[in-house]
Chain A
Amino acid sequence: MHKIESKNVNFYYGTNQALKDISLSIEKNTVTALIGPSGCGKSTYLRLFNRMNDLIDNTKLEGQILIDGVDIYAKSTNVDTLRKNVGMVFQKPNPFPKTIFENVAYGLRVNGVTDKKFIEERVINSIQQVALWDEVKDKLKKSAFELSGGQQQRLCIARALAIQPSVILMDEPTSALDPISTAKIEELVYELKDKYTIVIVTHNMQQAGRISDTTGFFYMGELIEFDQTKNIFTNPKEERTQNYITGRFG
Chain B
Amino acid sequence: MDAASPLLDLTPRSLAWSARATSVADIERALARIWAAAPDAAVGPDGERHVVARTSVLNFVAVAGSEEVATRVLAAVGSLTSRHPSRTIVVEPRDAEGPRRIEAEVTATCALARGAGAAVCTETIRLRAGGDAGRHLASILPPLLVHDLPVTLWWPEDVPFHRPDFVALLMHAIQADRLVVDGSTWRGDGLAGLRGLVGAQAASGIAISDFALMRQSRWRDAIASAFDLPDLLPYLGSIRGVTVEYTASRADPAGTNVVRPLYHAAWIGSRLGWSATEPLRVEPDGRRRATLRRPRGHVELSLVPVASDLPGGATTRVRIAATRRRSRLDVEVTARPEAVVVRARLDDGEPSVRLHHAARRTDADLLAEAVESGGRDPLTTAAIRLAGALAERGAEAGT
A, B: real partners: no
A→B interface (CB under 8 Å): none
